[in-house]
Amino acid sequence: MTLRAFISSTMDDLVNERRLVAKRLKELGIEPVNAEAMPPSGLNSWDRIRGEIDSCQIVILILGDRYGWVPDDGHGAKLGKSVTHLEYDHAKERGKIILPFQKRLRYGHPVDTLRDDFRREVSEWSDGTFRQEFDFADELSELAGAAIIDLLRNTFLKNPPYPHRRPRSIPQPALPTSNRSTNKDVLIAGAGMSIAAGMPPASLLIGLLSHEIWDQPSQSERFNFSDVAEFYALQFGKEQLISRLVEAMDRLGNPQPTTAHKHAVNYFGAIITTNFDNLFEQACEQQGIPYIVMLPGESLPEVGNRLPIYKLIGSLDTPESLRLTQRETAVEVNSDLVMMAKQLTQRNPVTVIGHGLRDGLIPEILSQRPESLEGRMVSPIAAPMEEILLNRFHLKKVEISADDFMEDLIGGQ
């Protein structure tokens, strides 16, 4: 389950604020729900708004200079309240978590009794919620991001369950073996595939960890996940680091294998991944496909007719296998697991999905691929400086979503 946040405010005067807050929410893996992005439907305006609020766990309320439009017919017409005020009332009635932000009014601003009364209502602790003030749109986006992370730590991440161990392999499939492709192509899967399934992105994990390390966690934005994980482990120990990650994975959603995961385990001859979730294993089990998981620090078993899944930084359900910090991944460069993955990419066509190719073990694994071998990088968007990486690793760009790519790939067999 992906967390959703409804953005409530007046429209015309807070366009930039709404846009930057929505952008920040997306960076944290939270789906922003705002009027600008709502597709047409057969519902009237208020029914649509009410339904969207009901579907969200969080409401971000932004109050600016204007009180907003007061409907003269339909829902709330007799109450004399603006649409934003009605949204706030409905969120309170539904028991939603409300995060209010008020823009500081300019000196000498015109008096607006309705606006001022509404701001006072939100501000008063007995009837409302503690609110934060801001001056600029970029300041608001930072405040909103910090408030979301703090909320997740204090509300959603409590009493972490102990990770359940899954089987490291499963026996012969219930389906005939002919249902799975026999090609040798190798999939390299990064965080993008897991995020699409509802897993928390690295930016959110960094935020959650950095709130326990620094008084001003915004400084963590300069570092990647493994940097922050390494410093967190030094401060609190690796056991607590793993506990925090398990909390985030278990409490912030219920990820399920996507179409891309399900097709991938049918099509590819091997999967190499830097993800520590179990989405590929789940996809195999749901379709009766035999698989074997390869983890750091363990001897490599015989693959046989099973799909090998090389998990380069380990698996959350086997905590001792996790290699989360820069130091730990650096040690793995010459490990049997990485060398085997490297050999696979030197001998077989490669498809990269959901990985930026900029850090971690993947650049090392791809470093000696022959130019003659086919290679693809699948991504729906073009990233700056991407051509440098594509040329370095002899890959061609396929600008399409992972699900659509896999649908086409399977359909073309």
pLDDT digit string, tens, across residues 209-268:
888 887 665 555 667 888 888 999 999 999 899 888 887 777 665 678 999 999 999 999
pLDDT of residue 385: 65
pLDDT of residue 106: 84
Mean pLDDT of the region 393-411: 87
Is there a single domain that holds both residue 348 and residue 369? yes
CATH number at residue 394: 3.40.50.1220
Question: Contact, 393 vs 366, CB < 8 A?
Answer: yes
Is there a single domain that holds both residue 332 and residue 407? yes
Is there a single domain that holds both residue 335 and residue 186? yes
Is there a single domain that holds both residue 238 and residue 304? no
Q: Is the dihedral of CA 112, 118, 122, 123 positive or negative?
A: positive
Could you give the number of structural domains in the chain?
Answer: 3
Question: Contact, 100 vs 122, CB < 8 A?
Answer: yes
**Residue 194 domain flag:** yes
Name, in order, each residue with C-beta under 8 angstroms of 391's C-beta and a sequence gap of 6 or more: none
Is there a single domain that holds both residue 406 and residue 374? yes
**Residue 165 domain flag:** no
pLDDT of residue 40: 58
From residue 281, how far is each of 91, 270, 310, 410 by CA, in Å?
A: 39, 13, 11, 19
Is there a single domain that holds both residue 186 and residue 301? yes
For the chain, the distance separating the N- and C-terminal CA atoms, rounded to the nearest angstrom, is 33
Is there a single domain that holds both residue 264 and residue 192? yes
**Residue 359 domain flag:** yes
Give the residue from 205, 241, 201 showing the smallest Cα distance to 322: 241
pLDDT over 70 percentage in the chain: 84
Give the pair of three-digit tokens for residue 249.
Answer: 């994975």
| Helix, strand, or coil (residue 259) | helix
Q: What is the pTM of this model?
A: 0.74
Give the pair of three-digit tokens for residue 329.
Answer: 């991944």
**Residue 184 domain flag:** yes
Which range marks the domain in which residue 329 is found?
177-199+255-411
CATH number at residue 82: 3.40.50.10140
Strands 396-398 and 350-353: unpaired
Give the residue from 221, 210, 188, 248 showing the smallest Cα distance to 27: 221
Q: Give the span between the Cα atoms of 289 and 285, in whole angstroms.
A: 6
pLDDT of residue 345: 95
**Residue 222 domain flag:** yes
Is there a single domain that holds both residue 121 and residue 78? yes
Is there a single domain that holds both residue 185 and residue 214? no
At 138-165, the pLDDT tens digits run 999 999 988 888 887 766 555 444 444 5
At 186-221, the pLDDT tens digits run 999 988 888 878 787 888 888 888 888 876 655 556
pLDDT of residue 189: 94
Give the residue from 149, 353, 363, 358 showing the smallest Cα distance to 263: 353
**Residue 172 domain flag:** no
pLDDT of residue 155: 62
Q: What angle do CA 286, 250, 234 make, to 5 degrees?
A: 125
Question: Contact, 268 vs 351, CB < 8 A?
Answer: yes
**Residue 164 domain flag:** no
At 341-396, the pLDDT tens digits run 999 999 999 999 988 787 788 999 999 999 999 999 998 876 666 788 888 999 99
pLDDT of residue 180: 53
φ and ψ at 192, to 5 degrees? -55, -35
Is there a single domain that holds both residue 10 and residue 41? yes
Residue 92 burial class via C-beta count within 10 angstroms: exposed 0-12, middle 13-18, buried 19 and up: middle
Is there a single domain that holds both residue 119 and residue 186? no
**Residue 358 domain flag:** yes
At 281-332, the pLDDT tens digits run 999 999 999 999 999 998 888 898 999 999 999 998 888 999 988 888 888 8
Question: Contact, 274 vs 191, CB < 8 A?
Answer: yes
Is there a single domain that holds both residue 31 and residue 144? yes
